[in-house]
Each structure stands twice: as C-alpha cells, then as structure tokens.
C-alpha cells in the first residue's frame, strides 16, 4: 500500500526548470515548516509533508503534495478564519498560486507577476484600512506602546515610567473590560514627548507602506527601487512589530518576483529577520537592571 | 476573452481583493475587527470589542461574570471565544451564553484599579457586593466539588458587547456600549 502510494507520488515529481524556480519552491517549503501552522492539526501535517519534501528534493515540486498542502491549509484555516492572522491568509493565497502553477501549463512568469501584485495589494489594503480607521490621527502607536505588553519595555526605556506602572495598566484594562458600565475609562501614564515621537513614526510608517504599495502595483517588473523599499520596510517594521510570519511571507513573495541581482538581498534579509525572535527588550531590561 | 484571460492569470489576486473588500465591509458596517478576516487591517486601530456578562441566579441576585476560555477546565474553548470576540455575531453570543449558563461559575476576587475614573470607582464601591467577585466558568466533575469551591449556577445571562479604544487627548482607554443579548436557560 505504502509502496504503491509512493509510486503514484513519484510519478508526479517534476524536475526544477531553473534555479529561480527551485529557490522559490524551497523557500516556500521552509516557510511552511517554520510558520505554516495555525494549530496542532495543521502543524503536524505541515511539518511531516513539507519537511519530507525538503529532505527528499525530488518531491519538492510534486504536484500531488502541493495540492494536498493547499487543501489542508484551506480546510484548517477556514475553520478558524476569524482567529488567524492575515499573513496566514496570505500563505494560503501563495500556496494556491504554486498549486495552480503546477497543475496548469503556466510558466514562471505567472508566479513572478502574481507575487508582485500580491505584495502591492496587501500593502494597499493595509494602508486603506489604516486610513479608514483613523491611523492618520495621533494615538494608535502611543496607545499600543502603553498597553500592549509586547512594546511596554520600549515605553519604559523612552519615558522612564516604572515597568510596574505599565504592567499595572494591563491589569486595570482587564478590569475595565470586565465591568458592565458604559463610558467608564482607565487613565494611563505617559508624556506628550512620547506621543509626538510615536505619532511621527506612525505617519512615517503609513507613508512608507503607501510607497511600497504604489511601487509594487505600478512600477516596472525590473525596477530595483520597489525591492529596496520592501527590504527596508521588512527590516524597519518587523524589528519593532515582531510578526515573523508576515515578514517571512513578504520576503518569499519578494524572492519570487525579484531579479537575480536583488534575490540575494531578500535571502540575506530573510536570514536577518529570524533574529526578531531574540527577546531584545527583555535582554536590555535585564542588563539595565542587573548592572 | 481578454477579461477571462486576465482572470485566469490573476485569479488569486482577484480572490484577495474580493475577500479584502468583504472584510472591509464587515469591519466598517458590522462588528468584525479590522485585525482579522483577510483584510490586512492589522495594526490599524486600537479599537477592540470586549464581551462583558452578567448572570442572574434563581433568587434574582446578579453576578459579574469573567468570560474566559481555556483548553482544559473551562467549558468555553479558547478558539471559540477568540473568534466570538473578533466577530461577535448574535448566534455566537447566544452560543456563548448557553455555554456560560450550563457551566458552574467559580468566584474570584477583583482588585479595584486605582486609575479607573472616579465615577466608576465610586459606583464600584457603592455596589461592592456585586463588583468584589467575578465568576469564571469552570468545568467540575460533580456538584460536590463545585460546591466545595463555592461555585454557583445561573438561570440567565446578559451578554453585552462593548468597544474599547485609546484616546490620545487624555491618555485614556474608554469603553463604549455596542449591543446586548439575553440568554435564558
């Protein structure tokens, strides 16, 4: 049974037509192994299938296995559509693209042109949502840095508010959320300086994101400027907002649509981005308080 | 023909746009959070929906309920609760209400925050009996164990959906009422 299954699978193996294609497929598999899961069910399948496809290179471009990955991602992610982060949805689009590519007679240009537009559209939606939700006015980043535990240590370093006070904000907000009383509120400690700095960052981020969107949607395919903008965006943004999955999928889409010349920079950035995992804030906090 | 060819070449991009537009509609005109649902609105707003519940016992006493989810000893799953918080549709709120009604509720003490607004703090002290304890849904193997931990049962529950947001002017996080439903046993 297992032998006949393997024979069927092997029949659907394809050799890579170019190094570019191999890089795209292998990096996509790496991403799926590292960050493809959205729960234990999917995680087990992804680790087994994608890791084996990487280990046995002849299966990396197997169209049955890519179809299986697509179906699993679609099934598990649709079950928890309102829970999963947006980059997990982007994973699904990307894997579907690869599957369509394998099951039709399209050439590599199909992946290149679609990945370029996907990056542009993602950025366009991100900018549109920000504008609609009032990101242009002060407050978003300031609020985030005052009550989101991921950024509190940065706040502590900037405005020198004791960390306990900031941690206490989180507790107060959880009580506020518990009580059934309209218009009740919790006051947080901050400074106008902090508000101004973060508002400047906020506006800069919005404009930069808009630029990336515009370049990916409207610039020429061979333009290096769009790649440089995306690389700066990934390094600048994701070391502050540590969403490794989003930066990784953007970089893989970047690799897919880039020229040979720019591809190496995407790969270097992909490696650099893994350092997001280092708990910089905690290390600095520890060193500050122990020396 | 040209349109069909274009759709064939860029089908996934079209799907992204359609999903994104649906998400945009639901997040602007319904209660879906911009952060989820394929519209790429993460890190776009501090607005967040929050679910508050008040339970009513047989004798008419009301209790404050802390709606928590867990993988293990709480009868509300984390996945369901998160999904409901992200998109508090009526049918999910009703389902949540039924889960609360059918579970035991274990009391935990609440510490009144010092940085909450004065009127609310005064209101909390004036109604100390109601606010000093919050009841969490918990799974017990039998009624005796539940009784030993002073867990209670309720007859009906009112689930209220609020929205919290950060306001730059006074550095405050404020909550605003959105809607409510009542679920009976």
Tens-digit pLDDT profile for residues A92-124: 999 999 999 999 989 999 999 999 999 999 999
CB A90 within 8 A of CB A2: no
β pairing state of B172-184 and B62-65: unpaired
List, in sequence order, the alpha helices (H) in A191-259: 192-218, 225-238, 244-257
The C-alpha angle with vertex A188 and arms to B28 and B172, in degrees rounded to 5, equals 35
Strand, coil or helix: what is B28?
helix
Q: What single-letter DSSP state applies at residue A9? A: H
Residue A57 has pLDDT above 70, yes or no: yes
Cβ neighbours of B177 in A, within 8 Å: 182
Residues of B in contact with A246 (CB under 8 A): 42
Q: What is the pLDDT of residues A252-281, one digit of tens each?
A: 999 999 999 999 999 999 999 988 888 887
Q: Provide the pLDDT for residue A47.
A: 86
Could you tell me if B167 and A134 are in contact, meaning their C-beta atoms sit under 8 angstroms apart?
Answer: no
Contact A100, B101 (CB under 8 A): no
DSSP class of A12: T
Subunit contact A184:B170, Cβ cutoff 8 A: no
Give residue-wise pLDDT tens across range A7-42: 888 888 989 999 999 999 999 999 999 888 777 778
| Helix, strand, coil shares, percent, chain B, to 5 | 35, 30, 35
Q: Strand, coil or helix: what is B133?
A: strand
SS3 A174: helix
Distance CA(B102)–CA(B105), nearest Å, equals: 9
Chain B: give the shortest CA distance to residue A78, in Å: 10
- Residues of chain A with Cβ-Cβ distance to B17 below 8 Å are 121
Buried b / exposed e along B112-137 (16+ C-beta atoms within 10 A): ebebbbeebbebbeeeeebbebbbbb
| CB atoms B15 and A93 under 8 Å | yes
CB contact under 8 A, B42 and A86: yes
In the sheet that holds B62-65, the strands lie side by side as: A185-187, B172-184, B156-167, B48-56, B62-65, B133-138, B104-109
Q: Are B96 and B84 in contact (CB under 8 A)?
A: yes
Name the residue with higher pLDDT: A192 or A286. Answer: A192
Quick one: angle between helices A108-132 and A19-35, nearest 10? 40
Answer yes or no: are the C-beta atoms of A217 and A124 closer than 8 Å. yes
Do B36 and A86 count as a contact with CB atoms less than 8 A apart?
yes
Which of B38, B44, B174 shows the shortest C-beta gap to A130?
Answer: B44
Mean pLDDT to the nearest integer, A172-201: 93
Q: Which residues fall within 8 angstroms of residue A151, CB to CB, at 6 or more apart?
A: A144, A145, A240
Flag the least confident range among A33-37, A188-192, B153-157: A33-37
How many angstroms separate the CA atoms of A214 and A117, rounded?
Answer: 10
| d(C-alpha B129, C-alpha B123), whole Å | 11
Give chain A positions within 8 Å (CB) of B158: 180
pLDDT at residue B74, as a whole number: 75
Does the pLDDT of residue A290 top 80, yes or no?
A: no
CB contact under 8 A, A185 and B175: yes
Considering only CB atoms, B131 lies closest to which of A137, A179, A186, namely: A179
Residue B92 to residue A158: CA distance in whole angstroms: 42
Contact A69, A32 (CB under 8 A): yes
- Cα distances (Å, whole numbers) of residue A126 to A178, A260, B80, B110, B171: 31, 28, 26, 38, 25
Q: How far apart are CA B185 and CA B103, in angstroms?
A: 11
Q: What is the pLDDT of residues B58-76, one digit of tens each?
A: 999 999 999 998 767 778 9
Choose between A243 and A96: higher pLDDT.
A96
Check CB contact under 8 Å for B123 and A181. Answer: yes
Partnered with residue B183 across adjacent β-strands are B157
Residues 236-255 of A with CB under 8 A from B: 241, 243, 246
In Å, how far are A87, A225, B81, B99, B102 from A232, measured between CA atoms? Answer: 19, 11, 37, 48, 52
Can you give the pLDDT at residue A291? 64
Gap from B84 CA to chain A (nearest CA, Å): 8
Mean per-residue pLDDT, B100-107: 94
Are B19 and A169 a contacting pair at CB < 8 A?
no
Which residues, at least 6 apart from B29, have a Cβ–Cβ distance to it below 8 Å? none
Q: Is B162 on the interface with A (CB under 8 A)?
A: yes
Residues on chain A touching B13 (C-beta within 8 angstroms): 114, 117-118, 121
> What residues pair up with B176 in beta bridges, in sequence order?
B163
pLDDT at A211 over 90: yes
Question: CA of A1 to nearest chain B CA: how many angstroms apart?
Answer: 36
Is any Cβ of chain A less than 8 angstroms from the Cβ of B120? yes
Interface of B with A in 74-93 (CB under 8 A): 79, 82-83, 86-87
Looking at residue B104, what is its pLDDT?
Answer: 93
Predicted confidence (pLDDT) at residue B182 exceeds the cutoff of 90: yes
* A179/B64 CB distance under 8 A: yes
What does the alpha-carbon distance between residue A98 and residue A94 come to, in Å, rounded to a whole number? Answer: 6
Q: Do A139 and B117 touch (CB under 8 A)?
A: no
**Strand locations in A55-132 (E):** none
């Amino acid at each position: 049974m297992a032998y006949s299954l393997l024979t069927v699978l092997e029949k659907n193996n394809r050799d890579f037509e170019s190094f570019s294609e191999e890089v795209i497929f292998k990096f996509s598999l790496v991403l799926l192994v590292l960050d493809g899961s959205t729960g234990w069910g999917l995680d087990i399948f992804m680790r087994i299938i994608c890791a084996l496809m990487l280990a046995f290179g002849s299966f990396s471009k197997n169209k049955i296995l890519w179809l299986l990955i697509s179906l699993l991602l679609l099934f598990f992610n649709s079950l928890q559509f309102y829970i999963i982060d947006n980059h997990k949805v982007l994973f699904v689009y990307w894997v579907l693209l690869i599957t369509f590519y394998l099951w039709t007679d399209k050439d590599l240009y199909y992946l290149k042109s679609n990945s370029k537009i996907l990056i542009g559209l993602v950025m366009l939606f991100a900018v549109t949502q920000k504008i609609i939700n009032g990101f242009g006015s002060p407050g978003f980043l300031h609020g985030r840095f005052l009550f989101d535990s991921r950024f509190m240590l940065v706040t502590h370093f900037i405005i020198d508010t004791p960390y306990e006070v900031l941690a206490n904000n989180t507790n107060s907000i959880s009580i506020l959320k518990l009580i059934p009383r309209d218009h009740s509120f919790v006051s947080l400690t901050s400074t106008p300086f902090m508000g101004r700095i973060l508002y400047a960052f906020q506006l800069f981020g919005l404009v930069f994101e808009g630029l990336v969107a515009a370049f990916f949607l409207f610039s020429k395919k061979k333009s290096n400027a769009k790649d440089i903008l995306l690389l700066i965006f990934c390094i600048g943004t994701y070391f502050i907002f540590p969403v490794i999955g989003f930066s990784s999928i953007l970089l893989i889409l970047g690799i897919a649509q880039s020229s040979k010349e720019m591809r190496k920079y995407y790969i270097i950035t992909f490696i650099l981005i893994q350092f997001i995992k280092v708990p910089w804030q905690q290390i600095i906090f520890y060193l500050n308080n122990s020396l | 023909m040209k349109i069909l060819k274009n759709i064939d070449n860029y089908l996934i991009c079209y799907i992204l746009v359609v999903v994104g537009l649906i998400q945009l509609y639901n997040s602007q005109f319904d209660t879906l959070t911009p952060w989820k649902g394929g519209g790429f609105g993460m890190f776009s707003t501090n607005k967040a929906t929050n679910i508050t519940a008040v339970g009513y016992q047989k004798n008419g006493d009301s209790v404050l309920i802390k709606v928590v989810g867990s993988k293990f000893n709480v009868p509300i799953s984390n996945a369901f609760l998160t999904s409901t918080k992200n998109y508090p549709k009526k049918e999910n709120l009703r389902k949540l209400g039924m889960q609360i009604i059918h579970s035991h509720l274990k009391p935990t003490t609440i510490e009144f925050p010092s940085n909450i607004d004065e009127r609310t703090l005064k209101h909390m002290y004036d109604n100390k009996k109601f606010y000093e304890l919050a009841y969490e849904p918990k799974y017990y193997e039998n009624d005796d164990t539940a009784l030993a931990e002073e867990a209670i049962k309720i007859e009906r529950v009112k689930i209220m959906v609020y929205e919290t947001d950060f306001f730059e002017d006074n550095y405050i996080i404020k909550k605003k009422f959105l809607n409510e439903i009542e679920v009976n046993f």
